[in-house]
Amino acid sequence: MKARTRAAACLLTPFFVLFIAVTAIPIGYAVWLSLFTEKQSGLGFGGTESVFSGLDNYTAALGDRAFREGFGVLLGYCLLYIPLLLAGALGLALLLDSALARARRFFQLALFLPHAVPGIIAALIWVYLYTPQLSPVVQAMEAGGIGFDFFSPEGALPSVVNIALWEWLGYNMVIFYAALQAIDRPVLEAATVDGAGAWRIAFGIKIPLIRASLVMVGLFTVIGSLQLFTEPLILNKGTGSAVTSAWTPNMYAYTAAFDRNDYGLAAAASVLLALTAALLSFGVTRLTGSRKARRKGSRKERTA
């Protein structure tokens, strides 16, 4: 027993060391920083000093309309982006998994390649494609009588969603495809022998069997959506863009820290965003856990 304990300790120690170094300590420092405010001494001609302000930075962040509106932008982004991503990635995975698909390796690679492009480069590419004076896409749309301003208040959110879909659709498709490949083939063959068609097999057998992968991808996508930063930051540089410097909570914290040098406010905004992500993660895992418990209970009642 002692040998097992020592082996477990040796295997877990590197994880806990890295977790403390790159997660626990930075979070603790952000919380500590959020409790202080930089103030100038004297009549404004002296140096600055850190003054303990308690929860004043949290009150200032929550009382700032720009910070609250950033969460509204995230809500709209999640409502538009997450269903499109899950449906698109799942549809592509089902298509590749079907017997009708040809050249699967080629399509897997082609769909995954956009994820290999760094987020900043991808955003720059799409800013070029969104700019009317430069983009052949916009020129072709205008030639066809389709007018759409990707930088307008109505077009900014779909533009960011489009960039994120281009980056992450293939990555999540690979996850779903791997889960589909892990399904026992005899189960699918038995369904085919019983007369089930392709749609019935996809929606009645395949999707329920990969529900765990769907939940995992959904959870990670929600957390990633709350961290939206790179794409709108680059889009903010576009000509006449409606994306402001505080368009999302992450951009608000970035602007507070590096434009206004208010590190306490930036830390408070970051902590509030982290708490939101933690609460949503807990809610999703709790909801999925309760559903699994109910399904197990119903199965036991049927067998009884």
Domains and CATH numbers, the chain: 65-303 (1.10.3720.10)
Confidence check: pLDDT of 243 > 80: yes
* Cα–Cα distance measured from residue 304 to residue 298, given in angstroms and rounded to the nearest whole number: 10
pLDDT average, residue stretch 149-156? 86
pLDDT at 291 (0 to 100)? 60
Contact 206, 191 (CB under 8 A): no
**The pLDDT of residue 212:** 87
pLDDT of 299 strictly over 60: no
Give, in degrees to the nearest 5, the angle at Cα 219 between 214 and 220.
100
Cα distance between residue 209 and residue 219, in whole Å: 18
For 102-117, what is the mean pLDDT?
81
pTM (two decimals): 0.84
Give the pLDDT confidence of 4-50 residue by residue, as tens digits: 888 888 888 888 999 999 888 988 999 999 998 877 665 555 567 77
Please tell me the predicted confidence (pLDDT) of residue 184.
87
Average pLDDT over residues 186-211: 85
- Among 89-103, 108-122, 169-183, 239-253, the least confident range: 89-103
Task: Give percent above pLDDT 70 in the chain.
Answer: 89
| pLDDT at residue 270 tops 90 | yes
Q: From residue 229, how far is each of 16, 76, 233 by CA, in Å?
A: 28, 15, 6
